[in-house]
Amino acid sequence: MDNDLNVTYFITFAGHVEVDKYRYLYFVMMLTVYILIICSNSTIVYLIWNHQNLHEPMYIFIAALLINSVLFSTGIYPKLLIDFLSDRQIISYSTCLFQLYAYYTLASSEFLLLAAMSYDRYVSICKPLQYQTIMTKTNVNVLLFVAWLVPVCQGVVTVVLSAKKKLCAFTLKGIMCNSTFQTLHCVRSTMLNIYGLVVLVNMVICPTIFVLFTYTRIFIITYRSCREVRRKAAQTCLPHLIVLINFSCLLVYDVLLLRMGTEFPKIVRFIMTLQLLMYHPLFNPIIYGLKMKEIYKHLKIFFRKMF
């Protein structure tokens, strides 16, 4: 393999654990989870779309977050399912770059969407009289547009910088193209590392600090109010906070994997990656479907009609 133009690079995945022995078990398990992810997230999105009383900014942001989860999973699961039924787990160089791009773009969008949701809750609880004038349909659309556009633009730069680097290795330690892709480069790119840290600050750290700040303000203000106000604030804010903490903890592993050069046993890498791919996309519809009162009410009616 050389670095000439029009040459397709095939990168073998070394992150699978005894794939030959458990390939059909892996396939059935991952296919089942993928179907559950699509069905559970799509059901909540359908309910929000179909019921007029859910056409509020808070629920629109929830729908956007769930759509983001489906897109995130779709960028990874089809390739994984093919891997489990194949004798060799390989991926073309261009497909690997696309998966890397989709992975970090959609992960970044999740943090920005959670930040937009926290801002909506802050305005609703702390500035209720100004809510209708601040959270207009236009402003909501702008927040959604920014949450998806900014990561898309930043992701392009990451992929372009990665594509220009020469490869000296062709075996990935993981089961998909994520931060481990940079370990294939002959020389670690200082520019790519610096840019990656800038993106990390912009897309992860700043939104997380913003969410924590807004929710802290909310809890301080509601603490001084009556019990009913505190209960309502907790009911709407805690699900968002739980989702943020859950996703942040899973991505910490991904950062450690490359930035700190931390080595993990193969089985640990495999389990942690599956946590990110399986647990989180299923966690979102469960937490919002059960903890958001209005969505839960429509969900019960929906299942009664179905069964």
pLDDT category of residue 176 using cuts at 50, 70 and 90: confident
Ordered DSSP codes for 117-143: HHHHHHHHHH-GGGHHHHS-HHHHHHH
CATH number of this structure's domain 10-306: 1.20.1070.10
Quickly tell me which residue has 């075996």 as its tokens.
Answer: 171
pTM over 0.85: yes
pLDDT category of residue 43 using cuts at 50, 70 and 90: very high
pLDDT at 20: 72
pLDDT category of residue 71 using cuts at 50, 70 and 90: very high
In the predicted structure, residue 61 carries a pLDDT above the cut 90: yes
**Distance, CA of 282 to CA of 291 (rounded, Å):** 14
Q: What is the 3-state secondary structure (H, E, C) of 215-240?
A: HHHHHHHHHCCCHHHHHHHHHHHHHH
In the predicted structure, residue 16 carries a pLDDT above the cut 80: no
- Classify 87 as helix, strand or coil: coil
Q: Is 187 left (phi over 0), alpha (psi -120 to 50) or beta?
A: beta
pLDDT at 6: 46
**H or E stretch covering 13:** strand 10-13
In tens, the pLDDT along 106-117 reads 989 999 999 999
Q: 38 or 276, which is more confident?
A: 38
**Amino acid of residue 115:** A
**Distance, CA of 194 to CA of 190 (rounded, Å):** 6
Answer yes or no: are the C-beta atoms of 215 and 241 closer than 8 Å. Answer: yes
For residue 240, count other CB atoms closer than 10 A to its CB.
Answer: 27
**Distance, CA of 263 to CA of 174 (rounded, Å):** 12
Q: Once rounded to an integer, what is the mean pLDDT over residues 166-179?
A: 78
Q: Phi and psi at residue 169, in whole multiples of 5°?
A: -140, 155
Beta-ladder partners of 167: 185
pLDDT at 266: 67
How confident is the prediction for the chain on average, in pLDDT?
Answer: 82
Answer yes or no: are the C-beta atoms of 173 and 269 closer than 8 Å. Answer: yes
For residue 21, count other CB atoms closer than 10 A to its CB.
Answer: 9
Q: 187 or 39, which is more confident?
A: 39
- Classify 11 as helix, strand or coil: strand
Quickly tell me which residue has 């931390």 as its tokens.
Answer: 262
In the predicted structure, residue 210 carries a pLDDT above the cut 80: yes
Out of 41-50, 111-120, 256-265, least confident range: 256-265
pLDDT category of residue 262 using cuts at 50, 70 and 90: low
Q: Once rounded to an integer, what is the mean pLDDT over residues 146-174?
A: 85
- Cα dihedral angle (55, 57, 63, 65), rounded to 10 degrees? 180
Quickly tell me which residue has 């056409």 as its tokens.
Answer: 55
In the predicted structure, residue 60 carries a pLDDT above the cut 60: yes
In the predicted structure, residue 18 carries a pLDDT above the cut 70: no
In the predicted structure, residue 264 carries a pLDDT above the cut 80: no
In the predicted structure, residue 256 carries a pLDDT above the cut 70: no
